[in-house]
């Protein structure tokens, strides 16, 4: 297979196992490219890409921009602050004005769940969802699974636990879909208040005890407490959360095996993870960031290369 079955990348739910494997094999090639002295290829010369960020980002924004530039695309960056969105312009009007300037492909992060899907129904250009509220963050899940594959050779049959604020996390939902499609076993672990009631209907194991979750898994993906999306208090204090759900060196040393630690970033050091764990050899956090560029190059290349509109 040389072509994705989807025109847009709105969520992992739109991909099947073959699509994911095609993205991974393409990313393998681009990972080799970005480690060369000359990191650039002409694949997307004459393609114009707009990065629309209606919500803050460090990793995803820079990673997409670097991926686009490594593929020789022309790149424009838009952020909501300082734009005419502040004057009341609608999302569709803003995007149609940008597309009128002959933009071929959009990458969009938006605080509203479903924003990328909504836009895909109103415009002609291809869209990549770079995170929509608490819904999906497909490129993060793909780079996470790619990093597990890099570490272990394959994702199938690996035991992965997502720990923390599952309720408000787009990374959690996309990871669950992606890992299951690749044949991994998935568990979620966190306080009752941060695990949605529907979660077991997605076919994941549910564990409230952190030590038991760590004893079960090969890989622990630590999620950030999404304070910006919490309208009420879901636990008494951050200190209590850390005591019950924070991963520290002592806890890892008490296990009878060496597990792999992941985190999508940004990290709350000393809350969900201590610095000595985040910076240890068990952590592949910066490998995830490196792999993000190769994964995004692969997706951009595969979507931009589709001839249908």
- Residues in contact with ligand CP by CB under 6 A are 57-60, 131, 137, 140, 264-266
Q: Measured between alpha carbons, how far is residue 287 from residues 6, 76, 157, 264 in Å?
A: 27, 27, 21, 11
- CB 289, min distance to ligand CP, A: 8
Using CA atoms, how far apart are residues 92 and 269, in angstroms rounded to an integer?
A: 38
- CB 57, min distance to ligand CP, A: 3
E-strand stretches of the chain:
48-53, 74-79, 105-110, 126-132, 159-163, 185-189, 205-207, 219-222, 260-262
- If the CB atoms of residues 31 and 109 are measured against ligand CP, the closer one turns out to be 109
- CB 101, min distance to ligand CP, A: 25
- CB 148, min distance to ligand CP, A: 16
State residue 172 phi and psi, 5-degree precision.
-65, -50
- If the CB atoms of residues 154 and 228 are measured against ligand CP, the closer one turns out to be 228
- CB 133, min distance to ligand CP, A: 12
Using CA atoms, how far apart are residues 253 and 106, in angstroms rounded to an integer?
A: 45
Q: Measured between alpha carbons, how far is residue 258 from residues 108, 239, 253, 255, 280 in Å?
A: 37, 26, 8, 7, 12
- If the CB atoms of residues 185 and 224 are measured against ligand CP, the closer one turns out to be 224
E-strand stretches of 205-248:
205-207, 219-222
The residue among 161, 169, 285 whose CA lies nearest residue 225 is 169
- If the CB atoms of residues 140 and 260 are measured against ligand CP, the closer one turns out to be 140
- If the CB atoms of residues 203 and 266 are measured against ligand CP, the closer one turns out to be 266
- CB 55, min distance to ligand CP, A: 8
Structure tokens of 36? 């060369």
- If the CB atoms of residues 60 and 120 are measured against ligand CP, the closer one turns out to be 60
């Amino acid at each position: 297979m040389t072509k994705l079955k989807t025109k847009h990348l709105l969520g992992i739910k739109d991909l099947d196992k073959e699509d994911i494997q095609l993205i991974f094999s393409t990313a393998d090639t681009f990972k080799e490219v970005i480690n060369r002295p000359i990191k650039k290829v002409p694949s997307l010369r004459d393609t114009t890409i707009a990065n629309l960020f209606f919500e803050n980002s460090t990793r995803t924004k820079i990673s997409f921009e670097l991926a686009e530039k490594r593929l020789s695309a022309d790149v424009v960056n838009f952020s909501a602050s300082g734009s005419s969105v502040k004057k009341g312009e609608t999302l569709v009007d803003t995007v149609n004005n940008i597309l009128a300037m002959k933009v071929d492909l959009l990458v969009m992060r938006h605080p509203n769940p479903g924003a990328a899907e909504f836009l895909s129904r109103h415009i002609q250009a291809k869209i990549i969802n770079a995170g929509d509220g608490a819904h999906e963050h497909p490129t993060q899940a793909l780079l996470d699974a790619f990093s597990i594959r890099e570490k272990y050779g394959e994702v199938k049959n690996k035991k992965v636990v997502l720990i923390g604020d599952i309720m408000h996390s787009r990374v959690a939902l996309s990871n669950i879909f992606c890992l299951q499609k690749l044949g991994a076993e998935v568990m979620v672990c966190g306080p009752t208040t941060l695990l949605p009631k529907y979660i077991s209907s997605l076919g994941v194991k549910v564990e409230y005890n952190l030590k038991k979750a760590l004893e079960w898994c090969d890989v622990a993906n630590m999620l950030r407490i999404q304070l910006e999306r919490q309208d009420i208090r879901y636990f008494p204090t951050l200190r209590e959360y850390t005591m019950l759900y924070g991963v520290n060196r002592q806890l890892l040393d008490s296990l009878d095996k060496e597990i792999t630690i992941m985190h999508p970033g940004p990290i709350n050091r000393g809350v969900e993870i201590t610095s000595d764990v985040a910076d240890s050899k068990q952590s592949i956090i910066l490998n995830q960031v490196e792999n993000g560029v190769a994964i995004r190059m692969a997706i951009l290349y595969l979507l931009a290369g589709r001839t249908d509109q």
